[in-house]
Amino acid sequence: DVYSIDNHTILNTFYSAPLKEIIAVTNFKSNNLYAESIFRHLALLSVNHNATSAQSIDTIRGFWSQKGVDVSYMRLYDGCGLSPQGALPATTIVDMLVYMYKSDNYAPFRASLPLAGKEGTVAKFLKNTTLCGKAGVKSGSLSGTRAYAGYISVNGNDYAFAVMFNNFAVPSKEVVKIIEEWLVLDAK
């Protein structure tokens, strides 16, 4: 049954921050609670009660499929990316970033990504390199994984990128150094 407020008194109404502010905190601080909340809210776009994670996944897959992104290798389990059951190929992430670059929402989305070498979860990433402050980056990590995706701005051009390392057998510092060296070299 849908809950009705007809015979109740509303004591207070609270409105959330605008979505662009929520996304900014989600990406800038890697706020997994916000990411999971956004994910779960997406199911409400297709049903108005009893929303499930499966409905959120269907909504996400349907959206990106309609935008021409190949979702065949997209394995979603949760909204924050902390589950080892979830996986997105780097090519899928780059396709999403290219779509966002062309969308009307690019400016607030790009602003939500912290500048590498300067801010947020990537304050140390690409620091003391030629890309310091020139890349808006979202980082992701779990035990044995490191991932970075975003946009690099060089010579007046923006480039979308995604790079991931999984199941590595060296210290994560070495993996981050390899990723930084590759990005600096590739951005020339």
- Tens of pLDDT, residue by residue over 39-76, are 988 888 877 677 789 999 999 999 999 999 999 999 99
To the nearest whole percent, how much of the chain has pLDDT over 90? 69
Amino acid at site 140: G
pLDDT bin (cut points 50, 70, 90) of residue 5 is low
CA 92 to CA 111: how far, in whole Å?
A: 21
What is the predicted pLDDT for the residue at 74?
Answer: 95
Cβ-based burial of 48 (10 A; exposed 0-12, middle 13-18, buried ≥19): exposed
Q: 174 pairs with which residues across the strands?
A: none
- Interstrand relation of 145-154 and 135-142 (parallel, antiparallel or unpaired): antiparallel
Q: What's the pTM value of the predicted model, to 2 decimals?
A: 0.88
